[in-house]
Chains A and B, each alone.
Chain A
Amino acid sequence: MAAINHPLGHARRVPLPGRPAQVNWWVLAAVFVLGLGAMLPVLQNSTATSRGFDAQRLQLDQARVNGEIRELESEVASLTSLDRIQHRAEEIGLGPGDPPVFVNVGEPGPAPAKIPSEYLPGPVPTTEEPDPWWRSLLSWVSLGN
């Protein structure tokens, strides 16, 4: 019994039979690639669904905004209708105006304002053609009078 209560102390390690397990990296790589391949459609599907959801949400947003724009346009058109303008004018005490008075002015209108000279185009330079050489020769010999 004492032997049973005695601690093992430095118990000898019993070696396991056979060779220690070695990791086969090729197998692991193959499993990883297969796993990735299996996950890919799931990821693609998930991404497509997510984008489809976003697209639909944006389409709905666009439709909503367009609808609101058209409602606002319609509201503006109603508020600027002739009936509404007339009604509002009557509310604030306006009525039909007197016939307009047209004035024919018997005098000529004011002369157009003069443009400052610095803004006017300058004189066009006149390019005089040089005398031909024989004319200067004639003047040199005093034949040409």
Chain B
Amino acid sequence: MAQARAHGTRRVWVPATAFAVFALAVLLRLIQLQILDHPRYARAAHEELTASDVIYARRGAILDRNGNALATSVDTWDFYVNARTWKDPAKAERSAQALAAALHVDAARLRATVAASTAIDVLVARDVEYETGKELIDSGAVDGLNPVPSSIRVNPERDTAASILGFIGRDKTGLAGIEAAYNEVLQGKPGRAVYERDTAGDPIPFGRRVTSNPLPGKDVVLTIDRYLQRMAEQRLEEAVRQHRAKGGAIIMMDPSTGEIYALATQPGLKYSTLDLSDAKQIELLRNRAVTDLYEPGSVMKVITAAAAIDAGAVTPDTTYVDTGTAYIYGIALQNWDFNTYGLQDMRGVLRNSINTGAIFMMQQLERIQPGGFQRYLDAFGFGKPTGVDLQGEASGIIRRPTHPGWSPVDLATQAFGQSISVTPLQMAAAVAAAINGGNLVRPPFVRQIVGPGGSVQDVKPEIVGRAISAQASATMRDMMHAVMDPGHFPPKDYTAGGKSGTANVPIPNGYDDRQVASFVEFAPLDNPRLLVFVKLDENADLLTGTAAAAPIASRIMDDALHYLNVPADAGKSAVTR
């Protein structure tokens, strides 16, 4: 008897279809979970199971030219605790008490911090002293503790050179000064460690592995001498106080190599009072000797004279008659003291700082080389950054014939340091070029870079151009020496050359009564070893550069050259036997 084939009925097909749809839905969901969204879920699972730490590389030290540490790093710990572990009240209480006792903080606050956090690993202490942290870790008294090695920056010389060194942020990246400019060199390369966690979120023992080792940063050796830097900062502070100035700058430089021994500015960065939450202190982050412009006044006459002598337009013995006023396109330009000096040679122009004499030199130069004066300004490095190793360096401003509102009067006033804005460092580098044989040198802050293995990379002084001839430079040394009569407070032990500058502060459409007093000096005369530049901003006593800045420069010159073991010049304090 043949069995009849069962025909599908609704009672069969409906459940079958329902099962098929359900199976299809499950299948599609599986495809979605296991194929389409696989990377996302795999990543989530991986993140749940593993965690990673950045292993900061040891940041290189910053040393002075004699190898003394100005900034170095010390190991510390950042402590995180696992919030899941601390959900157990007994564990949380016990751990918080142990942690609080070691770190001298409030246990209740620790628990509240962890409880309030939505993160699994909660930061509870930053930059814990290495030994303290190590003892706490070894004791095992804190459940769910995840110590992460870290480091802090230490400045053994405290505030000395702070405005040069700058500082680093919490991510160990340089934010200002040399720390920022040489961040790539100092920072090294951070490493990374990965560790697995158990269901409670605690690291699994021996589950930690270093996926990339940190590469330590290199040490940077500066041209700065800590003793001279400290001296410059102290003298500047005294001078600002004494002359009731708004601020100022002192630069000490080797005129031959351009190496900066010291650079002090006021106002300036101080670690001891640094508070970045105070908006006013943000201004302190810039190094004003590099970033701020001023009109140099009569110090610029050194450059005018150097250009005219190098071009052969004048000699030191060239004479002219000063009538007290020079008329340029109908505009009367007078001497700074409204005096009339009569017949003067070019030494007299510098010694008496005669504005009309500077105009005379510029005109003689322009007569034989039209446009030559501003070409010399370019050759001395004005109008462009010096290339110093600090960020935010200003270029300076030179009014040129192509600028709107240009007038030949601008050229005349540039001859005695107006209608031109420079940085103190530009001015010091330009005067160095005038007296060092004529070479414009990039002022470096860094002498060497020392690798972790002791490899040394020398940073050679860089001559960026030739401003004047060696012969003209020798003539300039003699002319600047002629300036240093007793009224200019010459150094006691060294024959020196120098030039003062006193310039009013420019405002729109003119100048006001505020002034900038400055003095630049070098010694010894025959073989200059040191150039000192002193600038006082808006000194309330209104003393000139000669009266206010020259004594400071000469005192520094004597003390600094003694320190540098430069013998006194014959005929000065040296005893001849």
Question: For this complex, into which size category does the number of interface residues on chain A fall?
Answer: 20 to 34
- Distance between A85 CB and nearest chain B CB, rounded to angstroms: 10
User: Which residue of chain B is the closest to A53 with respect to CB atoms?
Assistant: B206
- Distance between B405 CB and nearest chain A CB, rounded to angstroms: 51
What 1/0 mask marks residues of chain B from 561 to 577 whose CB sits below 8 Å from any chain A CB?
01000011010011111
**Residues in A89-122 with C-beta less than 8 Å from chain B:** 99-106
| Known A-B contacts A74-B156, A77-B156, A99-B562; A106 and B72 likewise in contact (beta carbons under 8 Å) | no
- Distance between B278 CB and nearest chain A CB, rounded to angstroms: 25
Cβ-based interface call for A78 (8 A): yes
User: Which residue of chain B is the closest to A101 with respect to CB atoms?
Assistant: B575
**Which chain B residues lie closer than 8 Å to A105 at the CB level?**
576-577
Query: In the complex, A92→B382 CA distance in Å?
Result: 50
Query: In the complex, A73→B230 CA distance in Å?
Result: 22
Q: In the complex the two chains form, is B206's CB within 8 Å of A77's CB? A: no
Q: In the complex the two chains form, is B206's CB within 8 Å of A83's CB? A: no
Which of B74, B134, B157, B573 sits near A102, CB closer than 8 Å? B573
- Distance between B385 CB and nearest chain A CB, rounded to angstroms: 32
Main secondary structure of the interface of A (DSSP, over half): helix
Query: In the complex, A53→B206 CA distance in Å?
Result: 7
Cβ-based interface call for B226 (8 A): yes
**Which chain A residues lie closer than 8 Å to B206 at the CB level?**
49, 52-53, 56
**Which chain B residues lie closer than 8 Å to A81 at the CB level?**
156-158
Query: In the complex, A71→B130 CA distance in Å?
Result: 9
Which of B72, B210, B226, B573 sits near A70, CB closer than 8 Å? B72
Q: In the complex the two chains form, is A66's CB within 8 Å of B75's CB? A: yes
Cβ-based interface call for A87 (8 A): no
**Which chain A residues lie closer than 8 Å to B58 at the CB level?**
66, 70
**Which chain B residues lie closer than 8 Å to A68 at the CB level?**
130
**Which chain A residues lie closer than 8 Å to B413 at the CB level?**
none
Cβ-based interface call for A80 (8 A): yes
Query: In the complex, A68→B226 CA distance in Å?
Result: 26
**Which chain B residues lie closer than 8 Å to A64 at the CB level?**
134
User: Looking at A49, A83, A104, which has the most chain B CB atoms within 10 Å of its CB?
Assistant: A104
Cβ-based interface call for A82 (8 A): yes
Which of B61, B160, B575 sits near A82, CB closer than 8 Å? B160
Query: In the complex, A102→B569 CA distance in Å?
Result: 9
- Distance between A121 CB and nearest chain B CB, rounded to angstroms: 37
Cβ-based interface call for A42 (8 A): no
B-binding residues in A (CB < 8 A): 49, 52-53, 56, 59, 63-64, 66-68, 70-71, 73-74, 77-78, 80-83, 99-106
A-binding residues in B (CB < 8 A): 58, 61, 68-69, 72-75, 130-131, 134, 149, 151, 154, 156-158, 160, 206, 208, 210, 226-227, 230, 492-493, 558, 562, 567-568, 570, 573-577
Q: 28 A-B pairs, CB-CB below 8 angstroms?
A: A52-B206, A53-B206, A56-B208, A66-B58, A67-B75, A67-B134, A68-B130, A70-B74, A70-B75, A71-B75, A73-B61, A73-B72, A74-B72, A77-B68, A77-B69, A77-B72, A77-B154, A77-B156, A81-B158, A82-B157, A83-B157, A101-B573, A102-B574, A102-B575, A103-B576, A104-B570, A104-B577, A105-B576
List the 10 closest pairs (A to B, CB-CB), nearest first. Answer: A77-B156, A67-B75, A102-B568, A77-B69, A102-B574, A104-B576, A81-B156, A67-B130, A78-B156, A74-B74
